[in-house]
Chain A
Amino acid sequence: MLPVIRPELHFLGQNVQWTIPTELENRFLVTFEKFCTRTLPAVTHGLLLAASNLPLPMATTQTASSSKSTSISELKRIASQVRRDIVRQVHGVQSGHPGGSLGCADFFTALYFHIMKHDPEPWDMDGKGQDLFFLSNGHISPVFYSALARSGYFPVKELATFRKLDTRLQGHPTTHEGLPGVRMASGSLGQGLSVAIGAALAKKLNNDDHIVYTLHGDGELQEGQIWEAAMFAAGKKVDNLISTVDYNGRQIDGDVDDVMPLGDLKAKWVAFGWDVLETNGNDMAQLVNALGQAKTRTGKGKPVMILMRTEMGQGVDFMMNSHEWHGIAPNDQQLKDALGQLEETLGDY
């Protein structure tokens, strides 16, 4: 089974995107894991060779809103597998944070399989000439790890080591173990926006016009450092930055509104000087559109914020509508029930 592949090429000086015709899927019985172990250039090369025997694939200049229904459906299929990976990782070690991870599965899928310009190989820390992503709410590591593995940063089977002794997939993401795709340690909340600003400033100094993305929990916005960083990013015109909030309204101790109300979150970010978008973070089409729009708003003197309304536990009915599944693992029966609701689309690890 072939995942959606939209390699970007520089063709006749234009940045073009090739959409693989669906009939190709039947010609390639490539497992996803094999795909993940290859370098993107190699995959691109192979597909171009294959494509030479077919009618020319459609080339479209990439625009923010160019997503097609086919790609949306493929993204949904990937997101389903990411959700399976999340539940299985957390179940496998009986530890971790499934709720927020499930709620952000669509975002990570959209980001890593459609929006960001990034190369898993060769991996290097500096990421010059690439878009960068920083996960500030590090406890939703299962979704981050799945997205990284499924997009080729490390073997998918390594997801089975999540949170286990000697793993590179630490409970919270870290650079300490050298896991490709992770550029910052996170877990202690509120720090990722500052880090992303630093990386965005480095890109400006390096004349690198790529974008830095972040994700934050809504509960995390209770940390004061977030607002120090918010002030800086707007005040110093860090406009190569797109931040997003997993606005699910829940945190460990209950509803955000009960624990510490955020008030009018949009008005707060606007007041701090950000360009703010809102979207449904669990509707792939809306999400892709919002992320695409956000990209068009970079480079205009303001940092960009997307408030993504999500549901904690999205995709697994008994994990939704509550904060209870913030940080507990499903038992065997619950795993079975959860997997019954999530289609295996790319092959389990």
Chain B
Amino acid sequence: MNSFPILDQKDTRSGFGAGLHELGKQNPNVVALCADLIGSLKMDAFKKDFPDRFFQVGIAEANMMGIAAGLTIGGKVPFTGTFANFSTGRVYDQIRQSIAYAGKNVKICASHAGLTLGEDGATHQILEDIGLMRMLPGMTVIVPCDYNQTKQATIAIGAHEGLVYLRFGRPKWPVFIPADMPFEIGKAQVLIEGSDVSIFACGHLVWKALQAAEELAKTGIKAEVINVHTIKPLDTKAVLSSVKKTGCVVTCEEHNKYGGLGDAIAQVLATTMPTPQEYVAVNDSFGESGTADQLLKKYGLDVPDIVQASQRVIKRK
């Protein structure tokens, strides 16, 4: 049943780098800023080809956010690049006042999100960023699932007027979204249709959800897998239409169980269609050092966890 063969193994951050470089060619107003992580964010190509539109700000993320906000005054479309932790928690007030409240057209692009950055450990493994960014009025929050989609999303937010948080990661990960598959901000993608359980996932866990659906199929459970790459604004229509069919929900995210995709979906369901739901998310803890695979397994974000959550929630229907 796997209609999504692995096309390649690439990191989502490289998708960002490729998309940014493409945007640089398309739009002379696109500018980029980085806080001493050009290589990690894969911004080398943009810097090389558009040096006048690239700003190295050094290890000063707060300043970077302010400069990005200021660059919009004069019609520029700034993309900031650093790790997810330094893109959000470290600079929350700068984003809140100078970007969100001020309504500036800044694209906050965050790599190394979640547990899968691995060995650097919990200081760098932010698991709260989706929640932080979701809470800001006017912020669009996008968590693409693979290289191709991250590239598509990067290009898409360049044409989108408004502030955006784009979250991606470090590890090489299966590429399974065809490069020509349409991407639209705010439009969830039904990757596998099913009738027994709706599995909503974002980021790296979309691939895990697809694998879980395969496992479930072996036991006769038809899971519907939906890629919710845009967490805000949430595609409530897609959520409700799937849940009407399946009557139960599993949400999967590389994030704390508080404030992320699961809560976004729970809020829609609680207020319109109360539905049994299980969370596949980090259970209110920090991460630790380890490989990406080890950490996903240890913190309950792996394929068996999604399978078991699905089995549990089906029983609660």
Listed in ascending order, the chain A residues whose CB lies under 8 Å from chain B are 125-128, 132, 134, 174-176, 183-188, 190-203, 205-206, 208, 224-225, 228-229, 231-232, 235-236
Kindly identify, within residues 86 to 115 of chain B, every residue whose CB is under 8 Å from any CB belonging to chain A.
Answer: 93-94, 96-98, 101-103
Q: Which residues of B contact A (CB under 8 A)?
A: 31, 52-53, 55, 57-58, 60, 62-76, 78, 93-94, 96-98, 101-103
Q: In the complex, are the beta carbons of A208 and B102 less than 8 A apart?
A: no
Question: 16 A-B pairs, CB-CB below 8 angstroms?
Answer: A126-B75, A132-B73, A175-B102, A176-B101, A176-B102, A184-B70, A184-B73, A191-B66, A191-B94, A191-B98, A196-B70, A201-B70, A202-B70, A202-B75, A203-B74, A232-B67
- Could you tell me if A205 and B31 are in contact, using CB atoms closer than 8 angstroms? yes
User: What's the minimum C-beta distance from B188 to chain A, rounded to whole angstroms?
Assistant: 30
Rounded to whole angstroms, the CA-CA distance of A334 and B68 in the bound complex is 44
Q: Indicate which residue in B55, B72, B75, B97 contacts A191 across the interface (CB closer than 8 Å).
A: B97
Distance A225 CA – B66 CA, assembled complex (angstroms): 9
| Given A176-B103, A185-B101, A191-B97, A202:B62 Cβ within 8 A | no
In the complex, are the beta carbons of A225 and B75 less than 8 A apart?
A: no
Closest residue of chain B to A192 (Cβ to Cβ) is: B66
Q: A174-B102, A194-B62, A229-B63 are in contact. Are A186 and B74 (CB under 8 A)?
A: no
* Residue contact B76 to A197, C-beta cutoff 8 Å: no
A228 touching B70, Cβ below 8 Å:
no
Given contacts A126-B73, A203-B74, whether A194 and B103 have CB atoms under 8 Å apart is no
Q: Which residue of B lies closest to A186 (CB)?
A: B97
Q: Are B58 and A231 in contact (CB under 8 A)?
A: yes
> Are A199's CB and B98's CB within 8 A?
no
Give, as a whole number of angstroms, the nearest-CB distance from A146 to chain B.
Answer: 22
| Additional A-B contact list (6), CB under 8 Å, known A175-B103, A205-B74, A225-B60 | A194-B64, A194-B65, A197-B67, A199-B73, A200-B70, A202-B76
- Are A201 and B67 interface neighbours, CB within 8 A? yes
With known contacts A229-B63, A231-B60, A199–B74 Cβ distance under 8 A:
yes
Closest to B33 in A: A198
Q: In angstroms, how far is the closest chain B Cβ from the Cβ of A148?
A: 16
Residues of A within 8 A of B101 (CB): 174, 176, 185
Q: Which residue from chain A places its CB closest to the CB of B35 in the assembled complex?
A: A228
CB-nearest residue of chain B relative to A127?
Answer: B73
Give complex CA distance A183, B62 in Å: 19
**Are A205 and B69 in contact, with the CB atoms below 8 A?**
no
- A235–B65 Cα distance when bound, in Å, is 18
CB atoms of B97 and A187 under 8 A apart: yes
> Shortest CB–CB separation between residue B93 and chain A, in angstroms?
5
Whole-angstrom CA separation of A128 from B74 in the bound complex: 6
- Return the contact of B70 from the options A195, A224, A235 (Cβ within 8 A): A195
The answer to whether A198 and B97 have CB atoms under 8 Å apart is no
Q: Could you tell me the distance between the alpha carbons of A181 and B161 in the complex, rounded to whole angstroms?
A: 22
Please tell me if the beta carbons of B55 and A185 are within 8 angstroms of each other in the complex. Answer: no
Question: Of B70, B75, B102, which contacts A194 at CB under 8 A?
Answer: B70
Question: A132 to nearest B CB, angstroms?
Answer: 7
- How long is the Cα–Cα vector from A345 to B102 in the complex, in angstroms? 35
Chain A residues with CB under 8 Å of B58's CB are 228, 231-232, 235
Residues of B close to A197: CB separation below 8 A: 63, 66-67, 70
In whole angstroms, how far apart are the Cα atoms of A228 and B63 in the complex? 6
CB of B63 within 8 A of CB of A225, answer: yes
The distance in angstroms between the C-alpha atoms of A214 and B73, with both chains bound, is 14
CB distance from B313 to the nearest CB of A (A): 41
Could you say which residues of chain A place their CB within 8 Å of the CB of B53? 205
Knowing A188-B93, A195-B70, A201-B71 are in contact, say whether A228-B98 is a contact too (CB < 8 A): no
- Provide the bound-state CA to CA distance between A205 and B64, in Å: 17
Bound CA span A229–B55, Å: 13
Q: How far is the CA of A205 from the CA of B67 in the complex (A)?
A: 14
B65 → chain A closest CB, angstroms: 7
